[in-house]
Every structure is written in C-alpha cells, then in structure tokens.
A and B are shown apart, each in its own frame.
Chain A
Amino acid sequence: DILMTQFPSSVSASVGDRVVITCRASRDLSRWLAWYQQKPGTAPKLLIYAASTLQSGVPSRFSGSGSGTHFTLTISSLQPEDFATYYCQQGQTFPLTFGGGTKVEI
C-alpha cells in the first residue's frame, strides 16, 4: 500500500495567517493527489484534485501544488470557517489511501 504522511499533525494559526500543509507519498503518485477538509461531525469535503485543481465552489484562498511524492496545500489567508482537519488522499494505486490528517486550530 502507498503510505501517505502528512505534517504537521496540527498547527495553531490565526485569522489572516498563511498555512501550508505537506503530504508525502511512499511512491510516485504523478499528480493523482486530492485534498479534503473535514469539520467535526461532518463528512470530508473535496477541496482539490489532481494535485492543484480547485473543486467547483471552493474559495481561491485554497491552492495545491506538487507532483511525484511531495505535495502541499496552502491556505493563503486563513478564515474562521477554515478551522478544520485536512486530509490528503492518493489516487494512483489501489487500495486508495489517506494521510493521517492535519488539524488547523486557533
């Protein structure tokens, strides 16, 4: 299985801050990497797919980059509604696997 490692596991930030979350894969994913946002008690929500393509309706302050084994999710200016847990997911190989999550908290 492809192991997905996210870091940091948690980050404390303030409204307006720039936040960068990293996801590393144990094998080459090309660009088959997605990012999700999850708030407590709700299902994950797709933010970005194919490493850098913003899902429809997602604010432009979210951006993704990377390829191969190293990917990043950037929130350019953190808003109150962005405090949540973020997960990466690889789509290169079955079984599909997720990172352990990064909690963005105040």
Chain B
Amino acid sequence: QVQLQESGPGLVKPSETLSLTCTVAGGSIRSRYWSWLRQSPGGGLEWIGYIYDSGTTNYNPSLKGRVTISLDPSRSQFSLGLTSLTAADTAVYYCARYWREGGTYCFDYWGLGTRVTVSS
C-alpha cells in the first residue's frame, strides 16, 4: 500500500518561498508521476503540477511560473517550491500519485495534507 506524507512549515510570510516535501513509502517512486495539489479554505481543489521519474514536469499556468517540483529518488521524496507567496496561497497542500496508466488520469494515493498559512 503506497503511503505519502507531507512535511514543511505551517506558517510562512508574504513574499517568501514555501518549501514542502512529500515522502513516499510502500512503493517505488520510480516510473511514476507525482503531483502536488492544494485546497483553499473555501474548499476548491487546485492541481499545482506533476513530476515524472525522468524529471519531466508539468505545471498549472495559473501559478505563473512560481512553482518548481523536484524529485529525489534516493530518498523516495519529491518536493514543492512556491515563490512570492500571498494570502491567496493559504491552503491545505496535498501530495498525491498521479495515475495515468491505461487511461486513468486521476489521483489514486494522497497524503494526509499539510495546512499552510501565509501571514506576517
């Protein structure tokens, strides 16, 4: 059973950079797609981006180049960096496995989520 766990700060200041890490257990991080998503206080879910084993990434254009997702297979981790934070980035951040085999194109395993508040 694949398990994911997010880690990182719960409070960050405006204009600073958010760094989150997701640790994957119970399965190989290789040859898979790994994603970050977030859920605003109002409940809306937003896909942030994904990374594949090869280092290929795909980001949501709505985040206007503020996002970087990286992978560390040796630690079975992948990470999110989000720059120039504003209050609008306050959300629960989830890491998830993006399942795209056999025409699935969905998220089958999720982390528990980590709440991030952007405030001075």
Contact = CB atoms under 8 A, between A and B. Distances in A.
Contacts of B94: 43-44
Nearest to B49: A95
A14 B86 CA distance: 41
Interface stretch (A17-25, A65-73, A74-82, A85-93): A85-93
Which secondary structure dominates chain A's binding surface?
loop
Interface in B38-80: 43-47, 58, 60-62
Interface in A50-66: 50, 55
A49 B110 contact: no
Interface stretch (B14-22, B23-31, B98-106): B98-106
A89 B39 CA distance: 14
Q: How large is the interface on B (under 10, 10 to 19, 20 to 34, 35 or more residues)?
A: 20 to 34
Contacts of B99: 49
Contacts of A49: 99, 104-106, 108
A83 interface: no
A34 interface: yes
Contact of B44 (A32, A36, A91, A100): A100
Contact of B107 (A1, A42, A44, A94): A44
Contact of A91 (B106, B110, B112): B106
Given A44-B110, A45-B110, A55-B108, A96 B47 contact: yes
Given A34-B106, A87-B45, A101-B43, 8 more contacts: A43-B113, A44-B110, A46-B108, A49-B105, A89-B106, A91-B105, A96-B47, A97-B47
12 contacts: A34-B104, A43-B111, A45-B110, A46-B107, A46-B108, A94-B58, A95-B60, A97-B47, A98-B44, A98-B47, A100-B44, A101-B44
